Amino acid sequence: MRTCPLLLYFFLIFVSQVISDPDPLQDYCIAQPQNSQTFFVNGAPCVNPANAEASHFTTSALSKPGNTAANPLGFNVTLTNIKNLPGMNTLGLTMARVDIAGNGLVPPHTHPRASEVTILVKGSLLVGFVDTSNRLYTQQLREGDSFVFPKGLIHFLYNLESRAPALCISGLSSQNPGAQLASSATFTTKPSIPDDILKKAFQINGQDVSRIRKNLGG
Ligand X SMILES: *[C@@H]1O[C@H](CO)[C@@H](O)[C@H](O)[C@H]1NC(C)=O
Q: How far apart are CA 200 and CA 198, in angstroms?
A: 5
Pick the stretch among 27-35, 55-63, 70-78, 132-140 that binds ligand X (CB under 6 A): 70-78
Helix axes 195-202, 206-215, angle to 10 degrees: 100
Phi/psi for 82 (5° steps) reads -70, -10
Considering the complex, what minimum distance in angstroms separates the CB of residue 82 from ligand X?
19
Q: Are 98 and 167 in contact (CB under 8 A)?
A: yes
Going by C-alpha positions, the residue among 78, 152, 139 that lies closest to residue 109 is 152
Pick the stretch among 68-76, 112-120, 128-136, 195-203 that binds ligand X (CB under 6 A): 68-76
Residue 155, marked binder: yes
186 contacts ligand X (rule: CB under 6 A): no
107 contacts ligand X (rule: CB under 6 A): no
Q: How far apart are CA 123 and CA 117, in angstroms?
A: 17
Q: How far apart are CA 169 and CA 30, in angstroms?
A: 23
Per-residue mark of binding to ligand X, 7-46 (x: CB under 6 A): ----------------------------------------
Choose which of 66, 107, 108, 218 interacts with ligand X (CB under 6 A). Answer: 66
152 contacts ligand X (rule: CB under 6 A): no
Q: How many residues bind ligand X (CB under 6 A)?
A: 5
Q: Are 31 and 82 in contact (CB under 8 A)?
A: yes
Choose which of 28, 31, 43, 76 interacts with ligand X (CB under 6 A). Answer: 76
Residue 56, marked binder: no
Q: How far apart are CA 182 and CA 33, in angstroms?
A: 33
4 contacts ligand X (rule: CB under 6 A): no
Residue 109, marked binder: yes
Q: With respect to ligand X, which residue has the nearer C-beta, 73 or 204?
A: 73
Choose which of 67, 139, 189, 210 interacts with ligand X (CB under 6 A). Answer: 67
Q: Which of residues 165-184 bind ligand X (CB under 6 A)?
A: none
Residue 130's SS3 state is strand
* Spatial CB neighbours of 178, under 8 Å, sequence gap ≥ 6: 111, 112, 113, 114
Residue set of the binding site for Mn(2+)? 109, 111, 116, 155
Residue set of the binding site? 109, 111, 116, 155
Q: Footprint of ligand X on this chain (CB under 6 A)?
A: 66-67, 70-71, 76
